[in-house]
Structure 1
């Protein structure tokens, strides 16, 4: 589990991420949504993206597994950020979109299909789902954290038995200026309606 790392380093992680410019990613995601759509920010970290979406006129529910990060994100966004893990998140409403930026990468490979299925259960039919992973294969460890790396083949396998279909996938460089050498796999899925399954 990577949660202890984020609890122990919440302030440092917040400071290093909350001002990172993610506008290029937003430009791929937000035009697919209608005004005032409901977005679930899954594993919101600093709350950077939640705040950007709110400022763009969307309604956002956010959660993070780290209690300390969730508190910082709540202050940053001006709204309550729930504390939950992907597998036990619950909601009484369905969302138009899910945003999971650099968060699902801490889920072990064998658990990813179940986590995608669980989160997708809170999506409306035709809803969209953005996620990003470090580009590559296998699992790597750093600073007490485990990272599940994903390439094109892994991505396809993860969603094979889910209701999600690939809308678009693309590779980018790390948004942080000191990590430009790192590559990321980005993907946008849509939830197929019953008639499409």
Structure 2
């Protein structure tokens, strides 16, 4: 995690410029249709704060955190939100959120700890709470620019979710990166917490 944090701390401005203005409405839609108006959302690994700001601006109560101190500071300034500095490994909320948004963040979770982190997300959701997670499409663990990437395909995603009796998969779909210059594909997962 230290190398990854250093990467984002050193290149936070380039990361911001590359991500903040990306149109994500095609991904927001499926997530938001299940949430109560004005509900409480947690943005895990919020990066530039783009998504947290969008949710705030349409009337949701938003908490957000990121592991890069520089991104946290920059996102605070851009969004006006009290974004926290912490890791998804440190999530300890219980029955607090109507929705949890983990867009392009859990892809930096060690594969051996994915079950642990998803359990933390499940615990943090209210009953009938919705979780969105996205991973780069693939099946490998790989290093790129000092960052660990845990890629997921459909089989691995279903195997991951099979570890949880109170999570139901609502939608599993693949999308091309919303940044026009990128050719990568993403695996998107939308789940609901059941009683």
Q: How does 1:113-124 map to 2 (within 5 A)?
A: 113-124=115-126
- TM-score normalized by structure 1? 0.94
CA distance in 2, matches of 1:135, 1:159: 16
SS for the counterpart of 2:181 is helix
Alpha-carbon distance in 1 for matches of 2:167, 2:94 = 21
Partner in structure 2 of residue 176 of structure 1: 179
Runs of 4+ with >6 A deviation: none
Give the Cα separation in 2 of the matches to 1:62 and 1:141: 26
Q: CA RMSD in A?
A: 1.1
Residue deviations 1:89-125, cap 9 Å, x none? 2347600010000000000111101000012111001
* Conserved? CA contact 2:94–2:125, under 8 Å: no
**2:73 aligned with 1:67:** no
Counterpart position of 2:98: 96
Which of 8, 33, 58 pairs up with 1:6? 8
The residue aligned with 1:138 is 140
Residue in 1 that maps onto 2:169: 166
Deviation at 1:141, TM superposition (A): 1.5
TM-score (norm. length: structure 2): 0.95
Quote the Cα distance in structure 1 between the aligned partners of 2:18 and 2:180.
11
Q: CA deviation at 1:164?
A: 2.0
Render the CA deviation track for 1:33-55: whole Å, top value 9, x for unaligned.
11101000001000000010011
| Contact in 1 for aligned 2:93/2:123 (Cα 8 Å) | no
Task: Provide the C-alpha distance between the structure 2 equivalents of 1:4 and 1:116, rounded to a whole number of angstroms.
Answer: 24
Give aligned pairs, total. Answer: 192
Give the match for residue 159 of structure 2. 157
Helix, strand or coil for the counterpart of 1:161? coil
Match of 1:177, SS?
coil
Cα distance in 2 for partners of 1:71, 1:4 equals 15
CA displacement at 1:83 relative to structure 2: 0.5
Contact 2:94–2:123 under 8 Å retained in 1: no
- Partners of 2:192 and 2:89 in 1: CA distance: 20
Residue of structure 1 in register with 2:44 after alignment: 42
Matched, 1:192 2:189: no
